[in-house]
Structures are given as structure tokens and as C-alpha cells.
Amino acid sequence: MALITSETKGVFVIACTPFTDNGALDTASVDSMVDFYYEKGADGLTILGMMGEAPKLTQAESIEVTKLTLTRSGDKPVVVGVSAPGLAAIGELTKAVMDLGAAGVMVAPPSSLRTDDQIIAYYRNVVETVGKDVPVVLQDFPLVTGVQISTKVLGTIFEEHPSIVMLKHEDWPGLQKISDLRDAEAKGRRRTSILCGNAGAFITEEMQRGADGAMTGFAYPEMMVDVVRLSGEGKFDEAQDIFDAYLPLVRYEQQPGLGLAVRKYVLAKRGAIASAAQRRPGAALNALAIKEVEKLIARQTAKLEALN
């Protein structure tokens, strides 16, 4: 299977991990979900990320989910999240998933990191641990990790490690970071792929700032697919029209601590997975929240129809 590179573009959907109502891994839904994502236009997937309930899986289950997803994805690239408190676990899971055919691994910084030098040293250790031939996605998500990585530090890391080929960008605010990274490349630094997260809430501006696409899990991947495609064609106003139609739900899904419940509810409703259940501990939408989501979906559908 092809590896991700510093030229990778498009939409990598952050996949959820489907469970049955009693909390068992729902392998049939892995297949249907993978199919769903590609039918909606995804260029690739990212599994075992923060929204994938990865810490709730045993190591054996993590491998099984990877196998199932890779098999069903055919030659589409699949990135695997391998963040862990220790390098040994990162190295162990990386070896396993790369052997299975993953396109690369994604690593977020542990929340204990503080100084610039600590962050730089951490990614040096990561690259030494996984090996220089494994493509790495650096996940920059300070809202969750608590680790703030300045543009300068990102530059130092990118220059030192050619195998870190992609930035999963979800700093907040972070639009200027994209511009600054692209400016540095214009002045000679090697290129890095930038795919953006943050539930897609800034994807229109991000694309105009020079991002290569999206890596996020909004339950209507066609939004990201359309915005990325239209932005690539320079049709920024049309992209914004489509984005605006989805934005009320994007916003609702972006709530920390509730987002995954919304996402799984919508995916189940759309037939991508059989059950919206999260493995314990996990929130479920109550009746009031479901009513709010349904209203947002109904309005979204009407707006999209009005656009066509």
C-alpha cells in the first residue's frame, strides 16, 4: 500500500471505532463504515485517533481494527494513531501496523511536555523509535494535549526529520500558522503536507491559507470533500456556501466531551454503523440532544437542496 508523503492531499476521515450496544467490537460495522467514508469521497482514513476511542481498546483489538480497516480500504491509504505515554508502546504498535500495510502513523505530544527543547527532543525520540522509514504525522492539538508548539519549533522538527511528512493541524487559533509554514517553504524549507482538524470548523479559511486538505471526523465527510475540491478549483465562494450549510451541525459536533456521541449518532442514522454506542465510559445523546441534532440535520438538508 502507498505511504503518505509530504505531497499528500485530500480528505482523510478520522474514523470512529464501531461497537455493538453491549460494547463488543462491531467488525461488520467497520466494513460498512469504511465503505461509507469512501463512497462519500474520502481519499484515506485515520484510525485509532482521539475520537476513535483508542484507549478503550486492548492491544489485540487495536490490531484487529487496523487489519479490518486496511483490508477493506484496498489501496487507499490508512494512517494509524499510535500516541501513547511511552515510546515502547509507540514503537510496538507502529511496527505492527506498518507491517500490516498502514500508510503512516500519527503521534501527538504527551501533555507533560513544556519547553521547546522538550518538544523537539520528544519527536527526535519518536523518529528514532519508529524508524526513519515510517512516515509520521505530527498532531498539533493544544486544546486537548495542553502542549503549545510554536511555528518555529515545528520548523525545527520538520527540518530535522524528513520522515515527519505531515502536520495534522488543529491549533486554535491556527490560521496564521498555516500561512507562516507555507511562507517558510516558499523561502526554501522542504514541503510538509498539512491536513486540518478542528472538526472542519475552519476548513474554508484553512484551504485558502494553503492547507492540503482535511483530517477530521465530521459525520458528513462530503462537506470536507466538496470544500477541498472546490477550493482546489479556486471556487471559494461555492465552497463557503456548502460549508455554511453544514456549519450549524459542525459547531454542535465540535463540543468537547459530546462530539463523539453526536458523530456516532449521525453515522448510525446514516447507516454507516449499526449502533451509536460508545464503549464505557462514554456519553450517549439523550432525547433533548437528539431533538437538537435532528433539527439541525433537517435544516441542513433543506439548505443543501436550496443550493442545488
Among 42, 80, 157, 247, binds its own copies (CB under 8 A): 247
220: CB partners within 8 A, 6+ apart? 40, 246, 249, 266, 300
Binding mask 103-122 for its own copies (x = CB under 8 A): --------x--xxxxx--xx
Which of 187/280 has CB closer to its own copies? 280
Binding mask 156-175 for its own copies (x = CB under 8 A): ----------------xx-x
Q: In terms of Cα–Cα distance, which of 39, 33, 2, 28 is closest to 15? A: 33
Among 191, 279, 290, 304, binds its own copies (CB under 8 A): 279
| 92 touches its own copies by CB under 8 A | yes
Among 84, 98, 225, 228, binds its own copies (CB under 8 A): 84
Interface region with its own copies, contact rule CB under 8 A, candidates 4-12, 67-75, 197-205, 222-230? 197-205
| 131 touches its own copies by CB under 8 A | no
**Which runs of E-coded beta strand occur in the chain?**
10-14, 44-47, 78-81, 104-107, 136-140, 164-169, 193-196, 213-216
Interface region with its own copies, contact rule CB under 8 A, candidates 99-107, 142-150, 155-163, 227-235? 142-150
Contact 98, 134 (CB under 8 A): yes
Helix, strand, or coil here: 161? Answer: coil
246/97 Cα distance (integer angstroms): 34
66/79 Cα distance (integer angstroms): 9
| 85 touches its own copies by CB under 8 A | yes
Q: Look up residue 111 and give its DSSP letter.
A: T
| 269 touches its own copies by CB under 8 A | no
| 286 touches its own copies by CB under 8 A | yes
| 96 touches its own copies by CB under 8 A | no
Contact 272, 34 (CB under 8 A): no
What is the CA angle 292-218-123, rounded to 5? 135
103: CB partners within 8 A, 6+ apart? 1, 2, 3, 4, 44, 77, 78, 79, 135
Q: Which residues bind its own copies (CB under 8 A)?
A: 54-59, 61, 84-89, 91-92, 111, 114-118, 121-122, 125, 128, 142, 147-150, 152-153, 172-173, 175-176, 179, 201-202, 205, 208-209, 240, 243-244, 247-248, 251-252, 255-258, 279-281, 286, 288-289, 292, 295, 299
